[in-house]
Amino acid sequence: MLSLNETDGVFLFDMDGTLTPARKKIQSDMVGFLTLLSKEAHIGVVSGSPASYIFEQLEPFISTSTASCLQKVVIMPCNGTQVYVYDTQKCRYNQTYGVTFKDHLSSLGDSSLLYREIVKNLISLQSHAVEKYSGLPLSGNFVSFRTSLLNWCMIGRDANHDQREAFVGLDKKYKIREYLSELLRIRLDASGLHSIETALGGSTSIDIYPDGWDKTHALRHVEPAWTFFFGDKCQPGGNDHTLYTHLEKMGRSWEVKSPKETILICSQILEKIKEDRDG
């Protein structure tokens, strides 16, 4: 775990649409920028995706970076409910923290029955979506258990780039995920699962997790440091919204439209911090 104090700076970043194009590997300009940023501050990657996706997308950065650089970069999959820190002796990232969705369900009753109820509703709503939206591109792997959250992707996590792009267009036109999220909320409440929250994950899915296990969960790993956040899904319903709103009150969060805008805005902030520090 990071050992931080209130004079340290931490830059937290969403992954898809912020550090990388959606579900693609990090590009060379961002690799160079993160390398420079690591010399001035700590970096946290906070994503709703599982660790395997994050490490796959960050591979060009991790494979070319020095140990001293990677030591400044903490990986926080599944909204920060898992934490991976670089071990300089073993030259790899090790998990240092994790909580589980099923442990939370155990506090509510029979975790097996409650989990079954959630999955049953997701399967039912998936069938409804296929019937309602005839143009919905479909692949496989529709419900993904990520230890601390469930991810429901109505086109399937195995969707290729063209299928993802087609869905993004449909979702913008018909608000598919917003509609399905509302239906899911009704079903969760009817099942007594009021403490289970939902948020739009990335550009093709819905995240389902216990109340409070949104991206603000990441703050408990970096407090009391001076923290900034950049994300692309910061509006109500998006999975960056809670963390963005929390830090926006202090003027320390930004909504971006692309990795290039992330570099631009973050560079300006970093320059101002340097000026203030150097007096």
- Residues annotated as catalytic (active site), given as ranges: 14, 16
Distances (CA, A) of 63 to 44, 80, 91, 251: 17, 23, 11, 34
User: Residue for token digits 């990677």?
Assistant: 70
d(CA 261, CA 66): 26
